[in-house]
Amino acid sequence: MSIPKDDGEWAALISTIKVSLPETFPEYQTPLPSEVNRTIDHTQLALAATEQQIDQLCAEALQYQFATVCVRLNHVRRAVQELKGSSDVKVACVVGFHEGMYETSEKEQEARDAVEQGAAELDMVLKYPLLKEGKYTDVYTDILGVRKAAPSPIRLKVILETSQLTREEIIAGSVIADVAGADFIKTSTGFNGSGANIDNVALMRATAGSVGNGCKVKASGGVRSAEDCIRMLKTGAERIGTSSGVKIMQELKGEAVGAKGSIRRWRPTSSATILIGQTISVSIITNLSISQRDFVRNICDPMQNTDSYPMLPSFSAPRPPSSPHPRPTMRRPGVPKKRKTSHYHDQTDYNGHSRNIFTSKPTAVFTPTGGRSHTLTVAIPGSIVANSHSVEQKTILAGIIARALAVFCVDEVVVFDDDENSPRDEYHGQGDYYESPIDKTSDELNGNDSSAKRYTGYSDPSHFLAHILSYLETPPYLRKHLFPMHPNLRGAGLLPSLDMPHHLRANEWCDYREGIVISSSDGEGQRRHSTQMSNYHHNRRYSSSSSTNFSATVVDTGLPKKVVLPDIQLPEYARVTVRFSEQGHEHYAQPVHPSTPRSEAGYYWGYYVRRCRSLSSVFTECPFDGGYDLSFGTSERGAPVYSVLEEERQEHDNYDRRKIPPDYKHLLVVFGGVAGIEAAIHNDPQLCDMEIRPTEAGKLFDYWVNLLPGQGSRTIRTEEAVWLGLTSLRGLVEGTHRPRPLYRSSSFRSSTSYE
């Protein structure tokens, strides 16, 4: 096969391979349980992994004789030392992990360093954003550079990141990696979207077979059980990347982890010898786990498709009185696996009766109690990010703040500049172009200006913080559409889950849902559809007021089937909030304003992100009519917060109190950076023109409060202050407390206009 010389020739080759693929894919023979260990790459890729965790990883790999341990470059030398003396267990190292968009020269050097330190295999991430743009020659050159830096016998695995690719792009990536000399094509990093699935594994195996260079497939990401492992191997994978290798081997050997970590070994209830080629009765098979059943079937008739076997009955054997452990309940094949660990705690209720509580899954579900018109806004200086040294530390800090915003149901977060060295406002003077300051922020984060494409953790920390907060607020199923690869998101794998009410799973139902417009048609029925990620209108929210008179819009809301918005057209790739009719079809909905779930139904529906160039613009660019009618500034020089708030004296229980609307409409809480809010005033040109001095900071707000008088540490970090502040003011938000008029400041805002 000749090597294509340009993108056009690559496209022709990829098209030829695509046409040659079969319509259905075969099932492959599963290895015996005793051989599965040699397909596993035992993995530890956490950025915060310790030497003790690497030692444990290597010890487990030696015990179970896994194919490799897969680690980051900084742990290769130690892993090689721990595995010294074993010729069977190798060390694999990731390269360009996990974004893939590092310069090729950096990847080549990383590959050389890993090999020099003893790595025998490399797992590199290809530049899949370039693959999506059709820049096939650049992708090939990148892989080939690493291949030349680490030639055979070093094994090279190329990670496609299939969760971010279409079927055609997976075929293209597989072809290019194969031609470039990869030994394996690998599904996923496990850090970006969903991991391996059988459709993609089968497609990659078939593509590699069509190219004919002997390239194999590694399934990685989300393989956490023996059942998952066997499914991938039967689909065509020949290597499995997982951090659950020990668990998989225990399941294959018939072991199960007991309630206190003890190991129980499966034993058949009747003495029987299983012979190859013999028929096995259902009474024996019902004592096996699903993965064990698959092995038995393969042994009995390796050439027969397991789907042809009759479905085995669900079985739960009674537990003898003397048995110390419950016998596991068997499931029908194909039923999704539930958590193995169940935690039941004997507790006593208010009547003194003992009751069992299931605690292995979260049970605190947000329950709306009716429409809510009042809002909560938090303002934070972006400079707090500048004080963190690495992208990982900056990312973790943003995640801590985002968790507080979600937990306390914050509706708007404002990231403002408080540093005299803050970058010039490239969007200054364009305010009239935008429908709201929030749209302006969205374009700053995802537009075509230079800051939208470069790493801004140092040059523009407010942009970085706003970018991460916006990413986390977006429902996970929309992120791959609205947030393309970006240097600011290289640490996204460290971010926590916010799990907010609008972060719905595919099997969860709500009257409202967030979606992205994927296609639309005009009045004559002409369909418009684009697949170029670069054309997305990132994270701009649209409602019915944004539409024009066209016939229909199709929206992806994370449900198994797409949703149709009849008699309306919205911009393609726009984020939209939809409402399903109570009597209507579940595949039809109507667009609503993003605040509708909150204002009409009472749902907490996430937060808006607004970027401001100064403290004064937090007030002047407020998106709410009438501005913020109640504001709190936080400082160690303020009045103790417990003195400022008093409990409402009404004859209601707590439940009724929460139904009473608060005295305010829009509450604002402002936090300072390292130097406090005073530094933001000092560096605010508008406030300086108004001759407002930093010592008068308290007069900018209705209340100037100290969140923790008598603090043990000299300083309270801003991310800690956010949690303290929102906890302290929770009663005000819930309507159980109100501020004392005695402590109200003589606010500048009552007599002075910022305009």
Question: What's the pLDDT score for residue 361?
Answer: 53
**Architecture field, domain 373-442+455-497+607-738:** 3-Layer(aba) Sandwich (3.40)
Quickly state the pLDDT bin for 605 (edges 50, 70, 90).
very high
Q: Which of 132, 216, 218, 394 is catalytic?
A: 218
pLDDT category, 430, cuts 50, 70, 90?
A: very low
Pinpoint the alpha helices (H) of 117-166.
Answer: 128-132, 136-149
Residues in the chain: 755
d(CA 714, CA 721): 13
Which residue in 41, 107, 123, 132 is the catalytic one?
123
CATH number of 501-520+551-605: 2.40.50.140
Active-site residue flag, 5: no
* Amino acid identity at 359: T
Over the stretch 723-749, which tens digit does the pLDDT of each residue have? 999 999 999 998 889 898 888 876 555
Query: Is there a contact between 98 and 73 (Cβ–Cβ < 8 Å)?
Result: no
Burial of 347 (0-12, 13-18, 19+ CB in 10 A): exposed
CA distance 445 to 439: 10
Per residue in 611-620, pLDDT (tens digit) is: 999 999 999 9
Q: What pLDDT was estimated at residue 4?
A: 95
Q: Which two tokens stand for residue 184?
A: 């394996």
> Which uninterrupted H or E stretch holds 666?
strand 666-670
User: Which pLDDT value is given to residue 207?
Assistant: 96
For 147-179, the pLDDT digits (tens) are 999 999 999 999 999 999 999 999 999 999 999
Q: Strand 645-647 to strand 589-592: parallel, antiparallel, or no bridges (unpaired)?
A: unpaired
Contact assessment for residue 561 and residue 580, using Cβ atoms and an 8 Å cutoff: no
> Which of these is catalytic: 90, 157, 186, 699?
186
The most confident of the ranges 125-129, 343-347, 538-542 is 125-129
Mean pLDDT of 467-488: 92
- State yes or no: pLDDT of 542 exceeds 90: no
3 state DSSP class of 128: helix
d(CA 392, CA 48): 10
User: What digits encode the pLDDT tens for the residues 83-111?
Assistant: 998 889 999 999 999 888 889 999 999 99
Least confident of 140-144, 262-266, 745-749: 262-266
**Residue listed under structure tokens 């939208």:** 452
Name the H helices within 592-717: 596, 616-620, 641-644, 654-659, 677-682, 685-689
Q: Does pLDDT of 519 surpass 60?
A: yes
Mean pLDDT lowest for which of 88-102, 282-296, 439-453, 672-686? 282-296
Q: Where are the alpha helices (DSSP H) in 709-749?
A: 718-728, 730-734
Which of 30-34, 191-195, 409-413, 677-681 shows the highest mean pLDDT? 409-413
The pLDDT > 70 percentage for the chain reads 73
7-25+36-252: CATH number: 3.20.20.70
Q: Which residues pair with 630 in a beta bridge?
A: 667
Residue type, 241: G
Closest CA to 340 of 290, 281, 385: 290
pLDDT at 266 over 80: no
What pLDDT score was predicted for residue 272?
A: 35
Domains in the chain: boundaries: 7-25+36-252, 373-442+455-497+607-738, 501-520+551-605
The secondary structure of 541-603 as a DSSP string is: EE-GGG-BS-SEEEEE-SSSS-EEEET-B--TT-EEEEEE-SSS-TTBEEEE-TTHIIIII--
Strands 216-220 and 239-242: parallel
Q: Which pLDDT band holds residue 23 (cuts at 50, 70, 90)? A: confident
- Residues 245-261, mean pLDDT to the nearest whole number: 70
* Residues 411-436, mean pLDDT to the nearest whole number: 65
172 token code pair: 């293209």
Q: Kindly state the DSSP code that residue 163 receives in the 8-state scheme.
A: G
By the 8 A CB rule, do 13 and 40 touch?
A: no
Contact 466, 609 (CB under 8 A): yes
- Distance, CA of 464 to CA of 455 (rounded, Å): 8
Q: Which residues pair with 517 in a beta bridge?
A: 555
Whether 123 is catalytic: yes
Give the model's confidence band at 689: pLDDT under 50 very low, under 70 low, under 90 confident, else very high. confident
At 465, the amino acid letter reads L
CA angle 129, 12, 103 (to 5 degrees): 30
Give all strands (DSSP E) within 139-238, no chain letters: 155-159, 184-186, 216-220
Cα–Cα distance measured from residue 406 to residue 369, given in angstroms and rounded to the nearest whole number = 18
Q: Please state the rounded mean pLDDT for residues 575-595.
A: 82
Q: Is 562 a catalytic residue?
A: no
Mean pLDDT of 550-567: 84
Q: What is the model's pLDDT at position 254?
A: 79
Q: Identify the weakest region by mean pLDDT among 308-312, 385-389, 441-445, 745-749.
A: 308-312
Report yes or no on whether pTM surpasses 0.75. Answer: no
Residue 290 pLDDT greater than 60, yes or no: no
- For the chain, counts of helices (H) and of strands (E): 26, 27
Q: What is residue 144's predicted lDDT score, i.e. its pLDDT?
A: 97
Q: Give the model's pLDDT for residue 258.
A: 36
CATH topology identical between 373-442+455-497+607-738 and 501-520+551-605? no
Q: What is the pLDDT of residue 754?
A: 47
d(CA 599, CA 413): 18
Q: Using CA of residue 333, residue 334, residue 340, residue 343, what is the dihedral sign?
A: negative
Q: Could you give the percent of the chain with pLDDT greater than 90?
A: 50
CA distance 729 to 737: 8
Looking at every residue in the chain, the average pLDDT score rounds to: 79
Give the span between the Cα atoms of 351 and 221, in whole angstroms: 47
User: Given this model, what pLDDT does residue 365 score?
Assistant: 64
